[in-house]
Amino acid sequence: CCHLLALDLYLQGKSKEEQMFLLEK
């Protein structure tokens, strides 16, 4: 049940970190 939700949140957080990293460059 909650596996997909946790995975989705993980991917969202990862994409956010990548965006911040790209903005800093």
Spell 2-16 as b/e; 16+ CB within 10 A means b: eeeeeeeeeeeeeee
* Distance of alpha carbon 2 from alpha carbon 22, whole angstroms: 30
Three-state DSSP state, 7: helix
Digit-coded pLDDT (tens) for 1-25: 568 888 888 888 788 888 788 888 7
CA distances from residue 17 to 1, 2, 6, 12, 20 in whole angstroms, order as listed:
26, 23, 16, 9, 5
Q: What is the pLDDT of residue 17?
A: 83
Query: Which pLDDT belongs to residue 2?
Result: 64
pTM for this prediction: 0.44
Q: What pLDDT does 1 receive?
A: 54
